[in-house]
Chains A and B, each alone.
Chain A
Amino acid sequence: MNERQIMTADEVRRAIARVAHEIGERNGGVQNVVLVGIYRRGIPLAKRIAAAIQQIEGSTVPIGALDITLYRDDLEIRGASTQIQYTNIPVDITGKTIVLVDDVLYTGRTIRAALDALTDLGRPDRIQLAVLVDRGHRELPIRADFVGKNVPTAASEDVAVRLNEVDGGDDAVMITRGAV
């Protein structure tokens, strides 16, 4: 297997800090912001961004967890084998600025499902998207507002984000070629 590293733990840390700054800048502070992590690696990323915002802005941003299993459009293809996770957003999202957080932006279908899921939970004022890696190959008219790193990839490659909270060990982003 051909694997190369495209982000080190330090680069992941800096990217998160920069995204945290940008979220505050774009929204004129974070008073109305709620971070919503998409299961699975979006959740620890949202927590880290919230911690960075706490340091920068001195205020606590609510964090939620979103599972999009029940909004997927590929049940026929991928089947029902995925275990459903628990959606838990501790505040009413109506009138809020929601920042969706995920590790990799690829086809955009996960985000499409997440937008549907959020719409069912309330009516936010606006929804923004923060991702650690944008690897291109969009299949839907979706773009990220905050990007840790843009990485041109081939469709045959696989981008793997490793976070200490989920995977153990050092944070890293790897590209694997011809993994399938």
Chain B
Amino acid sequence: MSNMPIVSPFVPWVPTPNRKRRHVLDLDDFSAAEIIDVLDAATSMKEVLGRSVPQVPILRGRTVVNVFYEESTRTRMSFELAARTLSASTMSMTAKGSSVEKGESLIDTIRTIQALGADIIVIRHGESGAPYLAAQHFKGSIINAGDGRHAHPSQALLDLFTIRERLGELKGLNVTIVGDILHSRVARSNIWGMLRCGMNVTLCAPSTLIGDVRMWQETFPTLKISYDLDAIIPDTDVLMGLRLQKERMQAGLLPALREYSTYFGINQTRIDNLPDHAIVMHPGPMNEGVEIMPEAADSPRSVIEAQVTNGVAVRMALLYRLSGEATA
């Protein structure tokens, strides 16, 4: 059995300094210094991506396997491109068309992939915690590429990278995360990372999409919660929209999409009320016209495309970091 603890959301996990990182499961066990290390490495990786021959040999002979139990465009392609740029071999498995359809368990699938010689498994799963289970049964490294509502650490790191690239130092910046917080693993990982880096985070959504306010406050005492987007817009340096999953409306959490759009959608008026330097982010895929209007997504403030490009560099930095037996 691995000694990888399963982290309860109620118990903040204090990072252990100088511990050699084996898995990337969430940002809760990243110190600010380690986050900055990853962002610095990603800056160098971005230079590699800009070359006419964007490939370096460092991970030659390593195998990275993408195991995706949930659909994904950008995350899967981004990890694949990252692995190839570092000269690793890549394989992909999706639940559809694999032995999962014949009833193979997650643990058996992980063991099979291990027997095929995988060094790093990048896993996305609909169930929160699935990557932690996989980590207990795999001798190599696991990267969580999104598990249920729980975590999406590589997305949070690429968001931090993009913010730092555009606005300089992270410390002291005011971030507003607006949208379906309740179901968002992107928000959860970002909250860990942003607070560790000394940013001020405000969650903004209708109360039905915030979740248990007391849980938020107990876990993150400095986290702020607002139900009035227009009131906090003028003090926002980073405005991050989240995808509103349309099926949520059927669950009775929202009376109407249009009403949501009116109060919480990122539109031109709200962009105009942001400070001049502020940026607008979205992890994608977007519901244009619901949580973000097309003119906002395409505005000069939007860094949404940069987020996608930067994602490859950040994932290269993570793959590199998990490779090799570090002596330090």
* Interface residues, chain A, with chain B CB atoms under 8 Å away: 67, 69-72, 75-81, 83-88, 116-117, 120-122
Contacts and interface: CB of A to CB of B under 8 A. Distances in A.
Nearest to B322: A80
Contact of A79 (B47, B57, B59, B327): B327
Interface in B274-307: none
A72 B58 contact: yes
Contacts of A80: 320-324, 326
A88 B44 CA distance: 10
A81 B51 contact: no
Contacts of B59: 75
Nearest to A87: B47
A87 B321 CA distance: 18
Contacts of B326: 79-81
Contacts of A76: 324-325
B86 interface: yes
Given A84-B41, A87-B47, A79 B58 contact: no
B86 A70 contact: yes
Contacts of A81: 326-328
Contact of B41 (A71, A79, A83): A83
B228 interface: no
Contacts of A88: 47
Contact of A75 (B45, B58, B317): B58
Contact of B43 (A75, A86, A117, A120): A86
Contacts of A79: 324-328
B45 A120 contact: no
Given A79-B328, A120-B56, A70 B48 contact: yes
Interface residues of B, number: 27
Contact of B56 (A70, A77, A78): A70
Contact of B40 (A83, A87, A117, A120): A83
Given A70-B56, A71-B56, A80-B326, 18 more contacts: A67-B44, A70-B86, A75-B323, A76-B324, A77-B325, A79-B326, A79-B327, A80-B323, A81-B328, A83-B37, A83-B41, A84-B44, A84-B45, A86-B47, A120-B51, A120-B53, A120-B56, A122-B52
Nearest to A113: B57
B315 to A, nearest CB: 14
Interface string B47-68: 1100111011111000000000
Contacts of B322: 80
A114 B204 CA distance: 50
Given A67-B44, A86-B43, A86-B44, A116 B324 contact: no
Contacts of B51: 120-121
A80 B318 CA distance: 11
Task: Identify which of B37, B320, B324, B325 gathers the most chain A CB atoms within 10 Å of its CB.
Answer: B324
Nearest to A74: B324
